[in-house]
Structure 1
Amino acid sequence: MTDTPSSNRIDRLRIRHLRLLDLVARSGSLTAAGEALHISQPAVTKMLQELEHAFGCKLVERTTRGGRLTAAGERALERLRVVLGAIDAAGEALQARPEVPLVRLGMLPLVGVDVLPRVVALLRGQGTLPRLAVREHTVGGLTALLCNGELDCIVGRLQKEEADTLKAQVRITALRDEYLAVVCAAGHPLARRRQVALADLLDQPWILPPRGTHTRDVFEQPFLDSGQLPPVPHIESSSFHSNLAMAAASGFLTVAPSSALAAYKAMSNVQEVRLRTPFASGRLVFITPAEVAMPPAVAVLKKALEAVVGEDGRVGARTRHR
């Protein structure tokens, strides 16, 4: 089938037609898709024919196990999932307090420790705080949700290579540079030293995130670059909240994003180890879909993030010049 897509035929499609492709992709079965939509098998076949006629190409290939999307079907679904996500978001936004806009925000856990609380306080004080549906995940998980239309924006951390890979799909606004801090209890011997070299860290007991995580990769790279094997952690844990609490109560060292340390250091629980060469960790960024106009409520959130992070930079500059 190689017909040219017709806007008239596409205009006749219903939301169910769009959901059909998504359900076939998820279940691998036209029958299962029909059951999820509560329609008969002949009705599923008719819907698929109408969908393929509207787009002018074959979207689903029948197999002995049911059905799978063709390459064209996969490309179509990439775009349609954004539409479906927007429809679902519209429903969520109108379920309660429709006069207040809803923003579906994805973020790394570190953002909830310092940046997001101050953004919420700023916007509430201004009377412009939207309703927030917050989801925490890894950078990869968040960007997948964003591209599928399940999030409106992300606050996360990216390396330059990751930003280059994503820039065709998303808009990226740099907020500030981040680095990975090495942390110990306030009474640890390393806390009192003015300068600590990489070699001083090798024989220390460590609490680290699991292998394959962004933070673990950033931690291990300087050791590998210097021709040394990275320390093997005694404890592996993905929660930097738990890791910092364990480090504060023991002789273990751990790592955490620098922006996440302020609250813990203020309580005098932990101390940042003064490394001769800090670990690089990328940039804190604000990400939105490239092909979707930024809703006003998302723009308000972005402006508040830039204000909060900008104030951090001004405070840091004043501190350095004292």
Structure 2
Amino acid sequence: MKISKKSMADSTGDNELTYRHLKLRHLRLLQLLETEGSITGAAKAMHLTQSATSAMLKELESIFGIQMVERGARGVVLTKAARVALRRFSIALTEIKSAHDEAVLAQTHKRLRLRVGALTLTMLDLVPQALSILLSRTSDIQVDITEGTVNGLADALLRGELDCVLGRISPTWSKWEEEQTEKMNLFDEPRCLVCRAGHALASRRSAGLATLAAHQWVLPPIQSSTRLAFNELFLAKGLMPPIPVVESQAAHSNMDIVAATHLLGIAPLALARRHIAMGRLHRLAPSVDLTGFPVSMIWRRVNGSDPALVKFREALVLASRSRGKMPSVG
């Protein structure tokens, strides 16, 4: 169907008028319909009558011009179009809550708030160095730090619960999700294989993969990038990767387990280095090279010019340079 320029302009104007009727309660309603699975449950959560909630749903469907729910014997489920809308609504609601929290903070402390998600390895050197630089330059930013996994932090970023993440793009992200973000590559963190001090392998100059495969291991979960890199070491040489005796996502604890047992382990060098320096662990020299772990600062594209984010990004650049790496935006 061909649309004239006039009709396109009229359509845009109509949309602007329609969206004036969109209210926060509409956004909250869709969120509750997803979690409660019924209009009755959503009505109870919003302290409204069922008829008032149904009327509000009709308003929302009229504003967007799409069907939001499908009704069944067990209640309601969101349509595909509604789920797409809910993704955006959830971010909007989170941002509104953050705006309220920051407004209260500014009224009492006059500080900007920055919510940072960080992998454990970035908390060892990078984040402390960046914070040192940031605090020497400004006193008007409050930094809230959340440690987590690659996927957990990436999802929190997309939901609007974090302003930036120090880690890497989630391997489960779709192209659309990647397009919502920007990133600055900071450095590649080397990985290393370790054993406890006094282990039989500690006296060897190098260890072949067949020898390593015959030993027992503590490893991160199979879906982690470190575990995938570990398995690829052996698969590339036609060997079956070792099945771990202990599987644990806690990188710090894994190093303690290696230090206390005969098990071998793999970890970012920044994490293992401290244990090696204390004489608790020994760094093994495998016959092949391990791939590094790419560390980036990732933020949502729409928040790229946030003052607190910009200042923290500048501090991270300087902290990365002190490690001998030149960050690059990608």
CA contact (8 A) 1:210 1:237 kept: yes
Partner-residue secondary structure (3-state), 1:102: strand
Aligned to 1:84: 93
Aligned to 1:230: 241
Q: How does 1:230-249 map to 2 (within 5 A)?
A: 230-249=241-260
Q: Which amino acid aligns with 1:191?
A: A
1:94 Cα deviation from its structure 2 partner: 3.1
Aligned to 1:287: 298
Closer, same or farther: CA 53–166 of 1 in aligned 2, 3 Å: closer
Aligned to 2:155: 144
Aligned to 2:79: 70
For residue 18 of structure 1, the aligned residue among 2, 16, 27 is 27
The more displaced of 80-89 and 108-117 is 108-117
Partners of 2:175 and 2:190 in 1: how far apart?
Answer: 19
Partner-residue secondary structure (3-state), 1:305: helix
2:52 is aligned with 1:43? yes
2:7 is aligned with 1:30? no
Deviations 1:183-208 (A, max 9, x none): 12233343343333322311222111
Deviations 1:62-101 (A, max 9, x none): 2222212112211211222221111111122234445111
Q: Which amino acid aligns with 2:160?
A: G
1:166 Cα deviation from its structure 2 partner: 4.7
Q: How does 1:157-306 map to 2 (within 5 A)?
A: 157-158=168-169, 166-306=177-317
Closer, same or farther: CA 278–290 of 1 in aligned 2, 3 Å: same
Partners of 2:283 and 2:104 in 1: how far apart?
Answer: 46
1:165 Cα deviation from its structure 2 partner: 7.7
TM-score if structure 1 supplies the norm length?
Answer: 0.87
Partner-residue secondary structure (3-state), 1:171: strand
- Gaps (5+ residues) in structure 1? 316-322
Task: Report the RMSD for the aligned CA atoms in angstroms.
Answer: 2.7
Aligned to 1:319: none
Closer, same or farther: CA 164–179 of 1 in aligned 2, 3 Å: farther
CA contact (8 A) 2:186 2:325 kept: no
1:128 Cα deviation from its structure 2 partner: 4.3
2:124 is aligned with 1:124? no
1:160 Cα deviation from its structure 2 partner: 8.2
CA contact (8 A) 2:113 2:141 kept: yes
The more displaced of 46-55 and 4-13 is 4-13
- Gaps (5+ residues) in structure 2? 1-11
Identity over the aligned pairs, expressed in percent?
33
1:251 Cα deviation from its structure 2 partner: 2.8
Partners of 1:149 and 1:135 in 2: how far apart?
Answer: 14
Closer, same or farther: CA 252–154 of 1 in aligned 2, 3 Å: same
TM-score if structure 2 supplies the norm length?
Answer: 0.85
Closer, same or farther: CA 98–18 of 1 in aligned 2, 3 Å: farther
Q: How many residues align?
A: 314
1:256 Cα deviation from its structure 2 partner: 0.8
Closer, same or farther: CA 78–292 of 1 in aligned 2, 3 Å: farther
CA contact (8 A) 1:288 1:294 kept: no
1:242 Cα deviation from its structure 2 partner: 0.8
Partner-residue secondary structure (3-state), 1:222: helix
Partner-residue secondary structure (3-state), 2:183: strand
CA contact (8 A) 2:195 2:258 kept: yes
Aligned to 2:6: none
Partner-residue secondary structure (3-state), 1:265: helix
Aligned to 1:307: 318
The more displaced of 94-103 and 81-90 is 94-103
Partners of 1:155 and 1:182 in 2: how far apart?
Answer: 23
Q: Which amino acid aligns with 1:118?
A: Q
Aligned to 1:318: none
Closer, same or farther: CA 313–261 of 1 in aligned 2, 3 Å: farther
CA contact (8 A) 1:159 1:283 kept: no
The more displaced of 3-12 and 175-184 is 3-12
Aligned to 1:54: 63
